[in-house]
Structure formats: C-alpha cells, structure tokens
Amino acid sequence: MSGVAQPGMPLVLVMATANHDKAAEIRQILGAAGGVRLLPRPADVPDVEETGDTLEANARLKAVALSAATGTPAVADDTGLEVDALGGAPGVRSSRYAGEGATYADNVAKLLAELDASPGRGGPRRARFRTVVMVRFPDGREVWREGVVAGTVAETPRGEGGFGYDPVFVPDEGDGRTFAELRPEEKHAISHRGRALRALAEALRREAPST
C-alpha cells in the first residue's frame, strides 16, 4: 500500500460513532497525532446494529456502513471493559450491559452489583479496557489497531470527567485516581483509545492505501 496521509495532505475520515463522548476523544487524540481531518457522522445514516461477537467485528460493521453510506473512508471504534471476576463481562456487551437503552449510570450500577455478588468478591477486581479502531476505505481495504489498558474496578464511582465506566476504573499506570478523576490528556496518554488511535495514525502514515 502506498502512503496517503502525507504532510500537508490530511486523510479525510468520517467518524462512524454516534456517541458524542467517544467522538470528542477521537478528535482530541487523532487531532494531536496529526495527518487526519475528521468529519462528523451524518445524521441521516441509520444506526448500525452491533451484532458481532468481537470488538473487531463490531468495529468493522460500523466502519463498513459509514464508508458505504458516504463514499468516504470511515473510522470506527468498538470498546469493551473486561472484568476477570465476571469471566470477561461486560466485554463486547459493555454499552448494553444493563439492557437496551441503558445509561452509563445503569451499567456502572450493574457492574458493581455483579461484582458484589460474585464468588470472588473482596478480591482484586482486575479489569482492562480494550478498544479496536478501524479505518475502512470505500474499496474494501482496511487498517485496524487494538489498544489495551489494565487496572482495577473501584468499590464506588469517583470523579466527574470521562464517560461510561470511567468513574470506576483505576488504571495500573496511574496514582490511584479513576479515569474520571484524570484530566483528558492524562487519560488519553495511557488509555485503550489513546493507544489504539496513536497506533492507527502511525499505521496510516506508513501503509494507508491511496484514495
């Protein structure tokens, strides 16, 4: 594959996510990495059902749908929180853990309740966020990368920043604060999404197909 995100010629990508929190993070992280110009997801593209059973499959479903609908290369992100004491749940079902239409608070409440009820309760509550980010080109070529951050699930939510499970995730590489207690740039420096997107930007610089 030949390079496309050359200096002075940003690669234009449409974002597949309809989640404003994720879109904001993607803008901040890819904006800092450079080489890419991001377009918002057009409002008239129908929701994409996340029927895959892996993060990679769901990222592909979203990226394919948006690149097909717009004729523009699309970037999609699929993320899961994997908790060891829950056999890797909520994992690929993280957004609807407490049911269809669940709020972030509903999902966090269910996670804490499941951990309290688990045979390993009182244990170390090991967990990790995993993200797959994928760029899909209208001709079917794709570039994807994974990012992981390890940590523990806190006993109670703390902090106002971030989104989703951030108030209960304490990264190993931090100082005991939850992701929601970190400034955005502190979170992005070590987060699953920061790692995946920086690796993606690097891969696009090296190997993106010409458009």
Please list the active-site residues.
78
Q: Is 94 in the site for ligand IMP (CB under 6 A)?
A: yes
Q: 192-207 and 20-33 helices cross at what angle (nearest 10)?
A: 50
Distance CA 91, CA 96 (A): 10
Tokens coding 185: 């740039």
Q: Tell which one of 15, 16, 67, 95 touches ligand IMP (CB under 6 A).
A: 95
* Contact (CB, 8 A) for 178 and 125: no
Q: Tell which one of 26, 64, 79, 125 touches ligand IMP (CB under 6 A).
A: 79
Residue whose beta carbon is closest to ligand IMP: 164
Applying CB under 6 A, the span of 8-16, 33-41, 158-166, 196-204 interacting with ligand IMP comes to 158-166
Minimum CB separation from ligand IMP for residue 79, in Å? 4
Footprint (CB under 6 A) of ligand IMP, residues 30-69: 50
Q: Is 107 in the site for ligand IMP (CB under 6 A)?
A: yes
b (16+ CB within 10 A) / e for 40-51: ebeeebeebebe
Minimum CB separation from ligand IMP for residue 196, in Å? 11
Count of Cβ atoms closer than 10 Å to residue 7 Cβ: 8
| Nearest alpha carbon to residue 53 among 21, 13, 91, 105 | 91
Q: How many residues bind ligand IMP (CB under 6 A)?
A: 16
Q: What is the CA radius of gyration of the chain?
A: 17
Distance CA 40, CA 19 (A): 11
Tokens coding 55: 């993060």
* Residue 40 vs 206, nearer CB to ligand IMP: 40
Q: Tell which one of 165, 181, 182, 194 touches ligand IMP (CB under 6 A).
A: 165
Applying CB under 6 A, the span of 5-13, 135-143, 162-170, 197-205 interacting with ligand IMP comes to 162-170
Residues at the site binding ligand IMP, with contacts judged by CB under 6 A: 19, 50, 78-79, 94-95, 104, 107, 162-166, 179, 191, 193
